[in-house]
Homo-oligomer: A and B are copies of this chain.
Amino acid sequence: MQKLTISGQEFNSRLFLGTGKFSSNQLMEQALIASGSDMVTTALRRVDLQNTEDDILKHINPNRFRLLPNTSGVRTAKEAVFAAELAREALQTNWLKLEIHPDPKYLLADTVETLKACEQLAKKGFIVLPYMQADPILAKQLEEVGAAAVMPLGSPIGSNKGLITREFIKIIIEQANVPVIVDAGIGAPSHAAEAMEMGADAVLVNTAIAVSNDPVMMAEAFKLAVKAGRMAFEAKLVAQLNMAEASSPLTSFLDL
């Protein structure tokens, strides 16, 4: 399998994990390890920036995982830029998952503010991975203003509905020159596999692992599904046909 590269850094896994909603930090840590992921996102809001000895960070081994702080909770470009700068200073990383969702119900991204913030942050030297609507025009614009990857949603955050935006994600993948990471809505390993089969470069999963009955087993399930989907993409899926085609010859057995 080809390795994923974002902004010059190579990743061993095409599965990114979120850290919300786990019942304990211990369980989160075990799930992160089981997932095989090497990219983990945490809401800045959940990190105690005054004290980098904060509990959640103790459970994300920096030698194993790249920490990808996210701006969940901000509502404008201005807030996002401010939050990003605090994070860079406190966490010593210029990697950033940009999330601007003013809408508290569906948590959908604000396109105009996201594009504005992405441009400013890229100019300030951040490696920006913006969460976005599955909007192909926007994906190209984010790429043009310096996004290191684009992160279109599959379906609303936490809805677990899978790739309801699949037709638009296909267009984004077709047109992109940066990695396309499907974020939000992936509720089952089959959803993750489908995203990878379509040619997505990676997927980000959180709720589906964190709140399952067995997050560690589910993390491993996603690890396998992401690999399976990527291998199928590389080996190339067969086409769908309207007519059946026998796997075996149909001349009657009894003609023998």
Q: A residues near B, CB below 8 A?
A: 18-21, 42-46, 49, 70-75, 79, 82-83, 101-112, 115, 133, 135-138, 141, 155-161, 164, 167, 171, 187-191, 193-194, 197, 206-208, 210-215, 217-218, 220-225, 227-229, 231-232, 234-254, 256
Contacts and interface: CB of A to CB of B under 8 A. Distances in A.
A235 B214 contact: yes
Contact of A110 (B72, B137, B158): B137
Contacts of A232: 188-190, 212, 218, 221, 225
Contacts of A251: 45, 73
A42 B171 CA distance: 27
- Most chain B beta carbons < 10 A, residue from A44, A111, A217, A221: A221
B249 A43 contact: yes
23 contacts: A18-B247, A45-B249, A45-B253, A46-B249, A72-B246, A73-B249, A75-B252, A83-B253, A106-B243, A111-B137, A112-B141, A133-B135, A135-B135, A159-B245, A160-B238, A189-B225, A190-B197, A190-B228, A190-B232, A193-B228, A207-B238, A214-B236, A221-B229
Contact of A231 (B74, B191, B218): B218
